[in-house]
Amino acid sequence: MNHWIIAPIVLPALLAPFIIMVLRYHLDLQRIFSVAGTVGLVGIALTLTAQAAGGEIQVYELGNWPAPFGIVLVLDRLSALMVLLTSLLALAVVLYAMGSGWDKRGRHFHPLFQFQLMGVCGAFLTGDAFNLFVFFEVLLIASYGLMIHGGGPVRFKAGVQYVTYNLLGSTLFLFALGTLYSVTGTLNMADLAVRVADLPTEDTALLRVGAVLLLLVFCIKAAVLPLHFWLPASYSLAPMPVAALFAIMTKVGAYSILRMYTLAFGPDVAITQGLAGDWLLPAALVTLAIGAVGILGTQHIARMVAFAAIASMGTLLIAVSLFTPQATAAALYYAVHSTLAAGLMFLIADLVIERQGGRIDGMTPMPQSGLIATLYFIGAIALAGMPPLSGFVGKLLVMDAARDAGDFTAIWAVILVSSFITIVGLARAGSLIFWQSHDARHNNEPDPENEDKVIHLPPPEPMPVLTFSAVFGLVAGLIGLTLFAGPLMEYTSSMAEQLYTPDHYIDAVLKGGEQ
């Protein structure tokens, strides 16, 4: 067995308690270990990607229990890419959090951060549905701590709402898993696929209920309308570097949809035929539309980026819901792009918030305005999907893949119109924040209504080099994604091919022990 597969889970799982117990009072050492761990994770993820690139699906049996009885971790091209994406985003975020001093504003930032990475990597690697639930809980419980990092009454309130919503989602997850187990008698994803395919077609109402419940759970995670209500408040009130890391969490939902509904309830399975796609496509279209309108309608830059994240999930899930290899390849490319772009925008939003409070009303000038405006411009181009950056390539691929779909007019119309609204919204915010800023004292009397909540800005960050290197790292990632769109697209096509031939996956898992 290849022990590298479990390394992305074990490394943060050991590092986090070590930081809590040994380095509790030494922030500098915490930082060193946290960065070293994240760099190590990038290295492991690169190794795994190289191993998975050949197309062989590798299985890691925990405790050496053979597949349907024990828990397995499965490494294929898709999970390797998602782990790599997680680790790269995490590296940028941890550097930014150190540079901006966010990790000093509350306790235990770095251990929670590592636990979060453990949960995300585990969710991407596991091949067992109940284990997926457990890793969801791991990443959620770490995210609860990260979300309220730094404290404050409003953030705590948003935290309560966020936790409540996600606990409801977890309960629903358990109901879905229980229903599936009662019908099929298994929770291993590959075994589930075999059992579902063998079920008689008459008596399948319960199985379909389970499949739809599971879809709902993943839609909550992916913030699909009408289950997106948790996202705007929690992302905009979380510390911005944490929100940047959360950009990968919505992708966990999209990944789970893709995994379960190509493997167990795939397009070829008669019982659940069209179940996911028929529901998901309209929901994804509305998600994209509402996300775009939200960008135009908000008064705060953090909330605007949160709505941009919702819109990008809409585009991603439109491609996912088509369930064709071409559309899935486009979806995966877009997933990589939108994770980096949303992460970048959240970090830029933090740069703005630290300097002038983040309200989109053009009141206060800020230091380093030119540099940040340029970065905002780059991020906005990427997020809105304008040429020349990778968002344009991604949207083009999604639209190209939708050409053969039945209702391609609706898909094209929604994508194009919402892109336009997004561009208008981002341009409005950018010009108000960066161009119309003038000293508030010369402008008008202080608003008596808002007088009592004057924004007390924290002192400027001690290590701007780190913050900007993190931001420029993400920009470089986006540029790289654009330049190497061709090879990457070939790679995502090979991933999609792997996803739509689930027999290889099933064989690898269920016969893994015999080889």
* Shortest distance (Å) from residue 252 CB to another protein: 17
- Among the listed residues 241, 385, 246, the one whose alpha carbon sits nearest the alpha carbon of residue 314: 385
Question: What CA–CA distance (Å, rounded) separates 368 from 471?
Answer: 14
Q: Which residues pair with 300 in a beta bridge?
A: 359
Strand, helix or coil for residue 126: strand
On the CB side of 502, CA atoms within 13 Å amount to 20
Count Cβ atoms within 10 A of the Cβ of residue 154 and give its class: 0-12 exposed, 13-18 middle, 19 or more buried.
Answer: exposed
Residues 6+ apart with CB under 8 A from 453: none
Provide the minimum distance between the beta carbon of 83 and another protein in the complex, in angstroms, as a whole number: 23
CA neighbor of 98 nearest in space, from 41, 31, 24, 18? 31
- Which residue spans within 30-186 are E strands per DSSP? 58-61, 72-75
The tokens for 281 are: 């496509």
Helical (H) or strand (E) element with 228: none
For tokens 């908000």, the residue is 298
Phi, psi (deg, nearest 5) at residue 186: -150, 160
Structural contact between residues 120 and 132, judged by C-beta atoms closer than 8 angstroms:
no
CB 11 within 8 A of CB 41: yes
Does residue 33 contact residue 18 with C-beta atoms inside 8 Å? yes
* Distance separating alpha carbons of residues 236 and 251, to the nearest angstrom: 18
Q: Are 468 and 372 in contact (CB under 8 A)?
A: no
CA-closest candidate to residue 74, choices 51, 95, 90: 51
Kindly tell me the burial class for residue 372, based on how many C-beta atoms sit within 10 Å of its own C-beta (0-12, 13-18, 19 or more).
Answer: buried
Binding site for another protein (CB under 8 A): 105, 130, 134, 137, 141, 144, 148, 150-161, 163-164, 167-168, 170-171, 174-175, 177-179, 181-182, 187, 232-233, 236-237, 239-240, 298-300, 302-303, 353-354, 357-359, 450, 453, 455-458
DSSP line for 366-396: -TTHHHHHHHHHHHHHHHHT-TTSHHHHHHH
Neighbours of 371 (CB within 10 A): 12
By C-alpha distance, which of 174, 190, 172, 171 is closest to 182?
174
| Angle at CA of residue 131, ends 16 and 85, nearest 5° | 60
- Nearest Cα to 288, choosing from 213, 376, 383, 375? 383
CB 89 within 8 A of CB 340: yes
- Residues listed for the chain: 515
- Chain centroid to Cα 350, Å, comes to 18
